[in-house]
A = this chain, B = another copy of it.
Amino acid sequence: YAPTRCAAAQTSTEQGILPPCHHHETVHDPQLVPCTCPLFSCPWEGHLEVVVSHLRQTHRINILQGAEIVFLATDMHLPAPTDWIIMHSCLGHQFLLVLRKQEKYEGHPQFFATMMLIGTPTQADNFTYRLELNRNQRRLKWEATPRSVLECVDSVISDGDCLVLNTSLAQLFSDNGSLAIGIAITTSKAHNAEAEM
């Protein structure tokens, strides 16, 4: 296994069951320091097989189980940059949902959501993840292949290769400042069979 460097903030664990993970004041620049873990500013380094226990123990990140789960991200009004993180245990693997509020364009925060496999890129290619928002007679679905946590979540987000929401769209899908994100993981084989419209 390749070593994994985790750069997580001191997650504000007092805020609830699924607390947002606030960034430190110095925002990590993906151009300068390649990251191999989706969390910012944590000096921890380790191998893939201990990433899950590190995330649970140090950052108090919860694991949800099941083929289809719903992640409730609270306090969507918090200023950028902010991360919301949950682990998803499914099909014998652990996945990490990263929802990030970030100002790609100054003064215009956007939400970016992606799934990472806690595994290698080759393993990640075997899966398809689906994120779904559904509220108020509107529905938005994003399906893609997860990235590996050995890749950089920052570049996924800066490339825009993920679910992207403007603040106005996020508000349309939110209820009392909380965003419910339906998450489903399937194997790629099933995805390919149904991929053609």
Contacts and interface: CB of A to CB of B under 8 A. Distances in A.
Contacts of A166: 160, 164
Contact of A138 (B134, B138, B144, B196): B144
In terms of DSSP, what is the predominant structure of the interface of chain A?
strand
A67 to B, nearest CB: 12
B161 A168 contact: yes
Contact of A169 (B139, B164, B197): B164
A47 interface: no
Contacts of A134: 195-197
A161 B165 CA distance: 11
B182 A139 contact: no
A197 B68 contact: yes
Contact of A195 (B137, B145, B182): B137
A93 B169 CA distance: 28
A132 interface: yes
Nearest to A135: B195
Contact of A108 (B105, B132, B138, B145): B105
Contacts of A172: 160-161
Contacts of A160: 166-169, 172
A141 to B, nearest CB: 4
Contact of A128 (B137, B144, B196): B137
Interface of A: 68, 70, 105, 108, 128, 132, 134, 137-145, 159-161, 163-169, 172, 182, 188, 191, 195-197
